[in-house]
Structure 1
Amino acid sequence: MDLAAARSLFSPEPGWLNTASYGLPPSTAWTALQAALDEWRHGRVSWEGWGESTARARAAFARLVDADEHDVTTGAQVSQLVGQLAASVPDGTVVLAPEEDFTSLLFPWLAQAHRGVVVRTVPAADLAAHVTPDVGVVAFSVVQSASGVVADVDGVLAAARAADAVTVADATQAVGWLPVDARRFDALVAGGYKWQLSPRGTAFLVTTAQLRARVVPSQAGWFAGDDPFASYYGPPLRLADDARRLDLSPAWFSWVGAAPALELLADVTVEAVHGWNVGLANRFRAGLGLAPGDSAIVSVDVPGAEERLAAAGVRAAVRGGRLRVSFHLYSTKADADLAIKALTS
Structure 2
Amino acid sequence: MSEVRGLFHLPEGGPYLLAHSVGCQPRSAMDVLGAGMLEPWRTAGGGAWSRWLETIETFRAAVATLLGVDPATVAPQTSVSAALFTLLSGLAPQPGKGVVLLSEQAFPTIGFVLAPLVRLGLTARFIPAREDPSDPATWERHFDGSVAAVIAMHVHSNTGLVSPVAEITALARRHGALSIIDLAQSAGILPTASREWGADALIGSCVKWLCGGPGAAYLQVREGAIPALQPLDVGWFAHEEPFVFDIHDFRYAADARRFQGGTPSIAPFALAAEGIRTVLEIGPERILANNRDCIAAFEDEASQSLDWSARSGTLCLVCDDAPGATAALSAAGFAHDFRGDILRASFHAWNAPDEAAALARTLRQAGVTFTPAC
Same fold (TM over 0.5): yes
Contact (CA 8 Å) 1:17, 1:335: kept in 2 or not? no
Q: Displacement, 1:256? A: 1.6
Determine the structure 1 residue equivalent to 2:329: 309
Aligned residues: 341
Q: Displacement, 1:298? A: 0.8
Determine the structure 2 residue equivalent to 1:135: 147
Determine the structure 1 residue equivalent to 2:317: 300
Contact (CA 8 Å) 1:110, 1:119: kept in 2 or not? yes
Greater displacement, 151-160 / 171-180: 151-160
Rounded Cα–Cα distance in structure 2 between residues aligned with 1:71 and 1:114 = 28
Alpha carbons of structure 1 residues 267 and 226: separation in structure 2 relative to 1, 3 Å: farther
Alpha carbons of structure 1 residues 105 and 155: separation in structure 2 relative to 1, 3 Å: same
Calculate the TM-score normalised by the size of structure 1: 0.90
Rounded Cα–Cα distance in structure 2 between residues aligned with 1:29 and 1:255 = 11
1:260 to 245, 251, 274: 274
Identity of aligned residues (%): 27
Q: Displacement, 1:231? A: 4.9
Determine the structure 1 residue equivalent to 2:116: 111
Determine the structure 2 residue equivalent to 1:43: 42
SS of 1:111 mapped into structure 2: helix
Determine the structure 2 residue equivalent to 1:101: 106
Determine the structure 2 residue equivalent to 1:245: 258
Determine the structure 1 residue equivalent to 2:71: 69
Rounded Cα–Cα distance in structure 2 between residues aligned with 1:15 and 1:95 = 40
Rounded Cα–Cα distance in structure 1 between residues aligned with 2:354 and 2:245 = 53
SS of 2:28 mapped into structure 1: helix
Rounded Cα–Cα distance in structure 2 between residues aligned with 1:198 and 1:232 = 33
2:9 to 11, 14, 37: 11
Query: Superposed, which structure 2 residues align to 1:137-176 within 5 Å?
Result: 137-176=149-188
4+ residue stretches of structure 1 with deviation over 3 A?
Answer: 3-7, 34-40, 42-47, 225-228, 231-235
1:82 to 78, 81, 84: 84
Greater displacement, 23-32 / 75-84: 23-32
Rounded Cα–Cα distance in structure 2 between residues aligned with 1:336 and 1:4 = 15
Alignment pair present for 1:59 and 2:72: no
Contact (CA 8 Å) 1:95, 1:118: kept in 2 or not? yes
Determine the structure 1 residue equivalent to 2:350: 330
SS of 1:15 mapped into structure 2: coil
Alignment pair present for 1:271 and 2:285: yes
Calculate the TM-score normalised by the size of structure 2: 0.83
Contact (CA 8 Å) 2:106, 2:152: kept in 1 or not? yes
Alpha carbons of structure 1 residues 107 and 307: separation in structure 2 relative to 1, 3 Å: same
SS of 1:44 mapped into structure 2: helix
Q: Displacement, 1:310? A: 0.9
SS of 2:173 mapped into structure 1: helix
Unaligned runs of 5+ in 2: 366-374
RMSD: 2.4
Determine the structure 1 residue equivalent to 2:338: 318
Determine the structure 1 residue equivalent to 2:204: 190
Q: Displacement, 1:151? A: 1.3
Rounded Cα–Cα distance in structure 1 between residues aligned with 2:258 and 2:20 = 30
Greater displacement, 18-27 / 154-163: 154-163
Rounded Cα–Cα distance in structure 1 between residues aligned with 2:364 and 2:33 = 40
Rounded Cα–Cα distance in structure 2 between residues aligned with 1:216 and 1:278 = 42
Q: Displacement, 1:38? A: 5.8
Alpha carbons of structure 1 residues 344 and 108: separation in structure 2 relative to 1, 3 Å: same
Determine the structure 2 residue equivalent to 1:291: 306
Deviations 1:261-297 (A, max 9, x none): 2122233332222212232233224433233313211
Rounded Cα–Cα distance in structure 2 between residues aligned with 1:140 and 1:297 = 18
Q: Displacement, 1:195? A: 1.2
Alignment pair present for 1:234 and 2:234: no
Alpha carbons of structure 1 residues 158 and 233: separation in structure 2 relative to 1, 3 Å: closer
Q: Displacement, 1:69? A: 0.8
Alignment pair present for 1:204 and 2:209: no
Contact (CA 8 Å) 1:64, 1:270: kept in 2 or not? no
Unaligned runs of 5+ in 1: none
Contact (CA 8 Å) 1:70, 1:243: kept in 2 or not? yes
Alpha carbons of structure 1 residues 178 and 109: separation in structure 2 relative to 1, 3 Å: same
Rounded Cα–Cα distance in structure 1 between residues aligned with 2:57 and 2:3 = 25
SS of 1:213 mapped into structure 2: coil
Greater displacement, 286-295 / 137-146: 286-295
Q: Displacement, 1:17? A: 0.4
